[in-house]
């Protein structure tokens, strides 16, 4: 037997939604947490580390094309044994991004992804005075890139994008599908490339996060492939090659049009070689959480 409540519920599920409404202009506070689990090729766990970025986002005036300001108030690295350290050089560090000045691959005029100055991450010293390993430093840099890369899916973009998702159940294939692009930046060597699979977005439904109504948007990168060259030391050049699969969910605040929460899982199988000889094969599993928090619950020091 149908009821008025049932009819209202069906209306919510069948109506059209505008997922790219005008964004609120207030300051936002985010926790960006990356958990990286490394397994050997036999499945045995090798290590697990957690990287936590506390990020303040101050949006610029969109009508005058002002840059957005981002401030890292605290960055912590926690190892499997529970030991945690902070990165003092990142505490209070700010940078700005004017999206109008980025090219179609989100690079600025210096070839930096999302205009993030990579020089800041080449040598990182933790709160005990110890230099972070190349792998750990790259994960610290990646935390910033992860935030901008995935939040971008919740914004209006040229071509196919979230603006094309109108009703629950809508699904689109993005133009970046099956594309091969060089991996930008000075932290990797020339010849490093990334090839995406079929990149899709789907309006999966409605949800609630911290009592805030949200649209639930899923994304999936399909089967991806990577070839990356790095120099952890001046005399050592490593080749990292393998495949990956990335998928996740965006919880978009239907009132402010900001990301309320985002989760992502990246599974990889990677082989590392030196001078053409394989030296290791691992299966990294990365879990990403981007969570909007209230100012009074935000850790700033």
pLDDT tens for 9-58 read 566 677 899 999 888 999 999 999 999 998 877 777 888 999 999 999 99
pTM for this model (two decimals)? 0.89
* CA gap 262, 217 in Å, rounded: 9
Query: What is the predicted pLDDT for the residue at 277?
Result: 86
| pLDDT for residue 264 is more than 50 | yes
Please state, as a whole number, how many other Cβ atoms lie within 10 Å of the Cβ of residue 301.
8
* CA gap 290, 149 in Å, rounded: 12
Q: What is the pLDDT of residues 195-246, one digit of tens each?
A: 999 999 999 999 999 999 999 999 999 999 999 998 888 888 899 999 999 9
| pLDDT for residue 114 is more than 90 | yes
**E strands, 234-293, in order:** 236-253, 259-274, 277-282, 285-292
Q: Which helix (H) or strand (E) holds 143?
A: helix 134-151
Average pLDDT, the chain: 90
**In sequence order, what are the residues at sequence separation of 6 or more whose Cβ sits closer than 8 angstroms to the Cβ of residue 52?**
31, 32, 33, 34, 74, 75, 76, 77, 78
Query: What is the predicted pLDDT for the residue at 234?
Result: 82
Query: What is the predicted pLDDT for the residue at 1?
Result: 47
Averaged pLDDT for residues 261-277? 92
Contact 165, 203 (CB under 8 A): yes
Query: What is the predicted pLDDT for the residue at 97?
Result: 93
Q: What percent of the chain has pLDDT over 70?
A: 93
Q: Is 174 helix (H, G, I), strand (E, B) or coil?
A: coil
Residue 80 confidence class, pLDDT cut points 50, 70, 90: confident
Averaged pLDDT for residues 85-100? 94
Averaged pLDDT for residues 176-182? 89
Please state, as a whole number, how many other Cβ atoms lie within 10 Å of the Cβ of residue 15.
10
């Amino acid at each position: 037997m149908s009821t008025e409540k049932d009819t209202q519920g069906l209306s919510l599920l069948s109506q059209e939604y505008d997922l790219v409404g005008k964004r609120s202009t207030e300051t936002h506070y985010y926790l960006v947490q990356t958990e990286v689990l490394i397994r050997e090729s036999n499945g045995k766990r090798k290590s697990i580390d957690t990287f936590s970025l506390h990020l303040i986002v101050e949006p610029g005036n969109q009508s005058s094309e002002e840059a957005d300001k981002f401030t890292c108030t605290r960055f912590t690295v926690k190892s499997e044994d529970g030991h945690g350290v902070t990165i003092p050089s990142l505490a209070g560090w700010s940078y700005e991004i004017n999206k109008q000045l980025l090219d179609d691959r989100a690079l600025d005029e210096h070839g930096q992804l999302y205009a993030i100055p990579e020089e800041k991450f080449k040598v990182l010293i933790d709160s005990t005075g110890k230099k972070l390993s190349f792998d750990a430093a790259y994960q610290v840099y990646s935390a910033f890139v992860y935030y901008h890369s995935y939040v971008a899916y919740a914004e209006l973009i040229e071509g196919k994008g979230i603006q094309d998702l109108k009703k629950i159940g809508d699904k689109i294939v993005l133009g970046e599908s099956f594309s091969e692009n060089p991996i930008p930046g000075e932290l990797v060597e020339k010849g490093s490339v990334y090839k995406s699979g079929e990149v899709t977005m789907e309006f999966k439904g409605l949800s609630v996060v911290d009592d805030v109504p949200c649209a639930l948007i899923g994304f999936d990168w399909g089967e991806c492939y990577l070839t990356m060259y790095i120099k952890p030391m001046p005399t050592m050049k490593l080749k990292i090659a393998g495949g990956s699969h990335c998928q996740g969910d965006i919880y978009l605040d239907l009132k402010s049009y900001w990301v309320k929460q985002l989760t992502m899982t990246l599974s990889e199988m990677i082989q590392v070689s030196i001078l053409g000889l394989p030296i290791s094969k691992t299966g990294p599993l990365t879990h990403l959480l981007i969570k909007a928090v209230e100012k009074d619950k935000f850790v700033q020091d």
